[in-house]
Chain A
Amino acid sequence: DAGVIQSPRHEVTEMGQEVTLRCKPISGHDYLFWYRQTMMRGLELLIYFNNNVPIDDSGMPEDRFSAKMPNASFSTLKIQPSEPRDSAVYFCASTTYRGGRQYFGPGTRLLVL
């Protein structure tokens, strides 16, 4: 298996623009997680899905952030409008069962100018 795939790997945008991050989980994994990593706050869980349904979005920082999972092999995290404080590395992870080992993608490094 190719593992968790994320795109783009790097994104540079200007404040106010819309940003869309993409994730393809490992085939057969029913759970998908979105995390954000910054130097100040470390790794934080933003939202997670089970069988394409959002289960817990309590970590989503504000209404500018939204996430969807239209099918079992694809998820998006959208920021609209983006702000400089959104600059971070965004990771997607998947697992076969709740509480299981999580497999992380390589991350998307986002810089908002």
Chain B
Amino acid sequence: KQEVTQIPAALSVPEGENLVLNCSFTDSAIYNLQWFRQDPGKGLTSLLLIQSSQREQTSGRLNASLDKSSGRSTLYIAASQPGDSATYLCAVDAGGTSYGKLTFGQGTILTVHP
């Protein structure tokens, strides 16, 4: 059974810092991995989707990398801003008979203070 772990559980940084959020998964045979953002009381917003054949994806100040063999992904946020404060979740699509079903990590709560 696929398990997804995110470290750290919470992170507080001053504005302007570059930061890295980590995600690990137990079964490396995945189809893709997604990073989501969740604001308090709101739904999830998909930030980046990396296919299993890709090594990284970029969108603005966000860069997500994927190392399937080691079962790891990182989300890099450059020049953090207070508006980046939210919970960040990674989710794995294991493919195969589980194709389309996402297994989520518990999330990293990010606080960026001015």
Interface residues of A (CB under 8 A from B): 4, 31, 42-45, 48, 55-56, 91, 93, 98-107, 109
Contacts and interface: CB of A to CB of B under 8 A. Distances in A.
Interface size class of B (residues with CB under 8 A): 20 to 34
A103 B101 contact: no
Nearest to A31: B100
Interface in B29-61: 31-32, 34, 36, 41-46, 49
Main SS class of interface, B: strand
Interface of B: 31-32, 34, 36, 41-46, 49, 89, 91, 93, 95, 99-107
A101 B34 contact: yes
A102 B101 contact: no
B109 to A, nearest CB: 12
Given A99-B99, A101-B34, A42 B104 contact: yes
